Chain A
Amino acid sequence: MASKGFRSFLDDLDAAGELRRLTKPVDCRQLSALGEQADEATMFENIEGYPGWRVATALVSTRKRLAVAMGCPEKRIAFEFESRSAKPINPVTVETAPCQEVVMEGDAVDLTAIPLPLMHLFDGGPYISGTFAVSIDEDHGPNVGCYRLMYRTPRETGIDLVSPSDMRFYYQRALDKGKPLPIAIAVGVHPLDMLAASYKAPIDTSELALAGGLRGEPLEMVKCKTLDLEVPAGAELVLEGELLPIGWTADEGPFGEFSQISGDVKWNPIFRVNCITHRKDPIFYMLQMPWENDWLAAPVTEAAGLQALRVASVQPVDIRAPVGSCGYWSLIASIKKRPGEGKNAVAALLSVAEVKYVIVTDDDIDIHDPDELDWAIAFRVQADQDAIILKGARAKHIDPSVKSWLLGKGGLPTTAKLGIDATIPEGVPKILYRRIKNYGRDSIKLEDFE
């Protein structure tokens, strides 16, 4: 069986009728607007000024396409993510790799040779938005995450390292020693690898093994040309280099954030690129913001919510991280409730990463139906008893309401969180919630009278 990779996923999208191919010449300044307008994922076959390159975008900008990547029905994504991530498979190292068919080192390094797109109106420059970033710490081992890169010079990019993350932690440790942090950036990997990279795993948990679990097969890695790091062998493009030990001092952004907001200028480190490797016929992956990022975030948030509920000994029935809150800032769950578990569930879900808004319902509510949710909140909630506010919790800078501009360079914001227990209150007879049902609804059929 062929290994899962970026190209096999493009084939899967093609087979599902979810990939559009554009053959007319397209300028890098046009890519984002065109990709945003297409109903399908888009492959740009002809990039002006970049012979031999193609660009793919919006590959998982709907839950349907994410389901194609997972190979499961849409409603099963969170549960599949949870069960597969419980069975990690360690990566394997290979000697040769497609991502190293072309190698540029030293003075040959030139980021302008890559079709870097200008994506959004107020971006501070062209961006590499979809990355699988590998770093290593001598005590904690390799770590993988997703970090955006803003073009600065043919040898340098900015990198957003403002929010708390393992790479930020590694960088701070290197910075304290006055040393650069070696990192490698892979572009164009399977969405399951991106899911693993974006998972908020404990620092000593291997995202690479998680990627293997999600794939059901080991992720093939290859040693970098200039670093003691490994990257996915099947990637389209790899940037090898180091984060300079300058701290949070270089302007970076704005960038069209996954919060659907343009964002602001941030102060960040600089990534110095010392080597570029890529395939002979490379495909640059432009992760379309915000939807691709949001749909990649949703199952990760949902799976973290399921895990939190199970740790709290609450039985989840369904869960979703709505795309309206970017698959990240809110969680809605239905549970099989025993007395008190509505509150336990709310507390558990509020503990997930930067989730700041939670609704918990009984399992008779379809949490995918906003009218059902409104009904449950209207008739099962007493605000003074069922709304929980948690103050001073960890937050993300890109939420304007946390006023991160007051923090200074490198500061970390906090937020208040809101949870709503919309389960049937203890002591209220369930019969009071008996829903209207038309007489004869199951036996009398409209078509028999037409």
Chain B
Amino acid sequence: MSPLATNLKASLEAEAKQFHDVVDDNMEVSWPEFLRAWGELREIDILKRDDEGAYYIEKK
């Protein structure tokens, strides 16, 4: 997993966030790089959604 994907994972384990909040936290990252890291989380199928559509990851 890339360092950025690792950071995203830790962030979503800590609290549920809307997608735009995740984007806001990573504005210094180029858009293609951000999308690739997001895709890494999708590929391992760990992203969950709460009732308001926010993303979170269950901490194991």
What residues make up the interface of A, taking CB atoms closer than 8 Å to B?
Answer: 27-29, 48-50, 111-113, 115-116, 118, 121-126, 151-154, 156, 251, 253-254, 264-265
Q: Which of B2-60 contact A (CB under 8 A)?
A: 18-20, 23, 27, 30-32, 35-36, 38-40, 42-43, 47, 49, 53
Residues of A within 8 A of B53 (CB): 122, 124, 253-254, 264-265
Interface pair B39/A152, CB less than 8 Å apart: yes
**What are 24 A-B residue pairs whose CB atoms fall within 8 Å in the complex?**
A27-B31, A49-B32, A50-B32, A112-B32, A112-B35, A112-B36, A112-B39, A118-B19, A118-B23, A121-B18, A121-B20, A122-B53, A123-B20, A124-B19, A124-B49, A125-B19, A125-B38, A151-B35, A152-B39, A153-B40, A153-B43, A154-B36, A251-B49, A265-B53
Given contacts A27-B31, A49-B31, contact A154 B39 (CB under 8 A): yes
Closest to A264 in B: B53
Please list the 3 inter-chain residue pairs (A to B) with the smallest Cβ-Cβ separation, ordered nearest first. A153-B39, A112-B35, A112-B32
In the assembly, what is the distance between CA of A153 and CA of B38, in Å? 7
B19 and A123 form a contact (CB under 8 A): yes
In chain B, what residue has the closest Cβ to A151? B35
Nearest A residue (CB) for B27: A29
Contact A48 B31 (CB under 8 A): yes
Q: How far is the CB of A245 from chain B (nearest CB, A)?
A: 17
Query: Least Cβ distance of A68 to chain B in Å?
Result: 32
Complex CA distance for A27 and B34, rounded to whole angstroms: 13
Name, among B18, B35, B53, the residue most crowded by chain A CB atoms within 10 Å (CB to CB): B35
Task: Name the A residues within 8 Å of B20 (CB-CB).
Answer: 118, 121-123
In whole angstroms, what is the CA distance A66 to B15 when docked? 45
Measured in the bound complex, the distance between the Cα atoms of B38 and A49 in whole Å is 17
Residue in chain A with minimal CB distance to B55: A124
Complex: A151 Cα to B37 Cα, angstroms: 12
Inter-chain CA distance A116–B38, complex, in Å, is 13
Cα separation A156 to B20 with both chains bound (whole Å): 20
With both chains docked as a complex, state the minimum distance between the C-beta of A292 and any C-beta of chain B, in angstroms. Answer: 21
Which residue of chain A has its CB nearest to the CB of B22?
A: A125
Q: Name the residue on A nearest B32 (C-beta).
A: A112
